[in-house]
Amino acid sequence: MKAAVFAAIVPLVLAMPAQAADTGAMAKAASDFYAVYSSFHQRLDGIPDAKARAKFAPVISDRLNGLIVRARAAEVTFTNAYKDSPPFVEGDLFTSNYEGATSYKIGACTGDDRSGHCTMALTYDPRVVGDTQNKPMHWTDTAYVVNTPSGWKLDDIGFGGNWDFANKGKVSQTLDMVIKTAGGGGTP
């Protein structure tokens, strides 16, 4: 009898939705990341070095930090072996736009108690860098966040830019490509 009751309860427990998370905590994690990102007055170019990574470490997941560390090491090893090779990642790693973003606004966040995502309305205003000839660009990327033992952290970014030369996919996919290509020791 106990086995029958247990067998009837288990599917019900497994079918229950995950507990809803505090979307405010998700938004704060995204905001914390973009605040650090915005603190770089010069555009970030390529995979962050150790100094830049130290600033990001408190606001990103261990998984993302590990990917950045491995990709940077693979790229350095590759470019040392092939002196005329350009970096694998040029321009801004963390947004759809090569030039990066000059401002951000957090949109809606959704998820559960383990992970979620927030839409990020991003703008690149060339006037900020002294370019009065070009118009601002606007797009939406997605900040993926995870709940870690030390709180909510940014775990990935999905690129949403729809112009021809926009970054595509996710930050993690870009870093994985660098690791696989540069780490393999072959030519790209």
| CATH number of 100's domain | 3.10.450
Is 13 part of any domain?
Answer: no
- In DSSP terms, 110 is beta-bridged to 117
Is 141 part of any domain?
Answer: yes
Q: Considering its fold, how many domains does the chain have in total?
A: 1
pLDDT at position 97: 95
pLDDT at position 163: 93
* Sign (positive or negative) of CA dihedral 84, 41, 177, 72: positive
pLDDT at position 9: 46
pLDDT at position 21: 67
Is 40 part of any domain?
Answer: yes
| CB-based contact 18:114 (threshold 8 Å) | yes
Instruction: Give the predicted TM-score (pTM) of the model.
Output: 0.84
**C-alpha span between 116 and 32 (Å, rounded):** 15
pLDDT at position 20: 61
Low-confidence stretches of the chain (pLDDT beneath 50): 2-16, 185-188
Is 137 part of any domain?
Answer: yes
C-alpha separations of 72 from 21, 36, 77, 162 in Å:
33, 19, 9, 27
Helices (H) and strands (E) in the chain, counts: 5, 4
**C-alpha span between 21 and 109 (Å, rounded):** 10
Is 151 part of any domain?
Answer: yes
Is 7 part of any domain?
Answer: no
Is 2 part of any domain?
Answer: no
pLDDT at position 14: 45
Q: Which two tokens stand for residue 26?
A: 């998700």
Q: What domain range includes position 144?
A: 20-183
Question: If phi over 0 gives left and psi between -120 and 50 gives alpha, with beta otherwise, what is residue 74?
Answer: alpha
pLDDT at position 185: 39
Tens-digit pLDDT profile for residues 22-58? 899 999 999 999 999 999 867 789 999 999 999 999 9
Is 9 part of any domain?
Answer: no
